Structure 1
Amino acid sequence: MMTDVDPRASVELVLFDVDGVLTDGTLLIGPEGEALKPFNVRDGVAVGLLRQHGIQSGVLSAKASQPLKTRASQLGMDVVKVGFHHKLEAIREIAEETGIAAEAIAFVGDDIIDIPVMNVVAVAYAPADAHPLVLESADHVTEACGGRGVAREVAESLLAARGLSLGEMYAHLLGDPDSLRGVVQ
C-alpha cells in the first residue's frame, strides 16, 4: 500500500506575509508620519522554534517599512523580501539565492495578492480571518487570526508533520528534554 507523504514534513523554508499574518493588519501612524506595526511575541517564539528544528524563516511583503525590517532582524529571519507587489518574482529570487525550490517552501498569506504564491509552494497557510478567496486557496487554515499567533500555529503544524510532539518541539527551551515528561502532548 502506497502512502502519501505530507508535504509539510519536507518544508525547508517558511515565508510569512506581514500585514494580516504577523500583524492584525492595523497600521498605526505616529506624529511624524512613521508607521508602527504591532507584532505578536508568540510569533517570535515560532521563528526560534523553526530554527531549532532546521527550518529557515522569512518575510515576503508588498510593503517595506522600518518596523518590519527591525522585527525581522531581531528575530534573525533568514529571508527578508519587502516591496514586492508581484510576489512570484520574489519566490524565484528566493529560490535562486537560497537554493530552496518552491516545492520545499511553505507560505502564509491573507490577501488576494498572496494567491499566486500559494498556488506554487509546497504548502499554503492562511489565517482564520483571511479573505475568502485566500481561504479557498490555502491547504491549511489556522485557528488564529492575523497577528494573534499565526506563525506559532504554522510552526507547530510543520513540526507535527515531522512526527514531533509538542513536548519534543519545546524541550530545548527548558534545557532538559526529560523536564517535559508527563506534559500533555
Structure 2
Amino acid sequence: MAKSYKEIMNDITTFIFDVDGVLTDGSVFVSNEGEMLRTMNIRDGYAMKAAIESGYNVCIISGGSNEGVRVRLKNLGITDIHLGTPDKVKTFKEYTAVNGIKSEQVLYMGDDIPDYHVMKLVGLPTCPQDSSPEIKTISKYISHVKGGKGAVRDVIEQVMKVQGKWMGYFDAKYD
C-alpha cells in the first residue's frame, strides 16, 4: 500500500521550490525601464528561514532569472539558488548528488509544465492550489493555498509539524 503524503513527510529533509507561481502568484509587473518585478509572501519567507534554521535544506530551482529574487532569497539564508535554469532535472540531480540527498527525502513544489519531470523524481511532489492540471495530477499533495499566497508556508509548516519541529523552533528561539 502506498504511503500517504503525511507519512512521506516524516522522511523529508529537503525542500525545493520553483519561484514563479510558487513563491510568487505568477504575476509580473513590468516597470517603464523593462524590469520585471514580483511579489512574495512574507509568511513563505518566514517559514523558509525557520526550515533552514531547523536544519532542513532549502533549494530554489527556477527557469526565471531575476536579481531581486536572488537578493530576497539570500536575505532569508538560502544559499542554494539556481535561477535561469533551463534543465531542472539536471540541476536537481547535481544538487542531490553533491549534497548526498536521496530523492525520497525531497519535497518539491512546482506549479507548471517546466516542473513536471523533476517532480516525477522526488519523494513528495507538491503544488499550490492554482497549479496546472498536469502538475496537480502528479502531486501527492495539493495545497489549499494559491502560489505566492502562502503555499510554501503550508508545506513547510506541515512537514515540521509532522516531524515535531514546528513549535520547537519557535520555543527554542525565545527560551
TM-score, structure 1 normalization: 0.86
Paired residue type of 1:92: K
Gaps of 5+ in 1: 177-185
Give SS of 2:22's match: helix
Aligned equivalent of 1:30: 31
Superposed CA RMSD? 2.0
User: Residues 56 and 78 of structure 1 are in contact (CA less than 8 Å); yes or no, is this contact kept in structure 2?
Assistant: no
CA gap 1:65/1:141 in 2 versus in 1, 3 angstroms = same
- Give the superposition deviation at 1:78: 3.2
- Counterpart CA distance in 1 for 2:84 and 2:147 is 20
Counterparts of 1:117-136 in structure 2, within 5 Å, are: 117-136=118-137
Deviates more, 1:53-62 or 1:97-106: 97-106
Aligned equivalent of 2:157: 156
Aligned equivalent of 1:170: 170
Aligned equivalent of 1:67: 68
Paired residue type of 2:43: R
- Give the superposition deviation at 1:160: 2.2
Deviations 1:1-42 (A, max 9, x none): x99692211212101100000000011111211111101100
- Counterpart CA distance in 1 for 2:101 and 2:10 is 15
Aligned equivalent of 2:97: 96
- Counterpart CA distance in 1 for 2:169 and 2:34 is 41
Aligned equivalent of 2:11: 10
Give SS of 1:153's match: helix
User: Residues 20 and 147 of structure 1 are in contact (CA less than 8 Å); yes or no, is this contact kept in structure 2?
Assistant: yes
User: Residues 159 and 169 of structure 1 are in contact (CA less than 8 Å); yes or no, is this contact kept in structure 2?
Assistant: no
CA gap 1:122/1:78 in 2 versus in 1, 3 angstroms = farther
TM-score, structure 2 normalization: 0.90
- Give the superposition deviation at 1:127: 0.2
Whichever of the two has the greater Rg, that structure is: 1
State the aligned residue count. Answer: 173
CA gap 1:169/1:141 in 2 versus in 1, 3 angstroms = farther
- Counterpart CA distance in 1 for 2:140 and 2:86 is 22
- Give the superposition deviation at 1:169: 4.9
- Give the superposition deviation at 1:52: 3.0
Gaps of 5+ in 2: none
- Give the superposition deviation at 1:50: 0.8
Deviations 1:102-146 (A, max 9, x none): 221110000011111111111111000000111111010111101
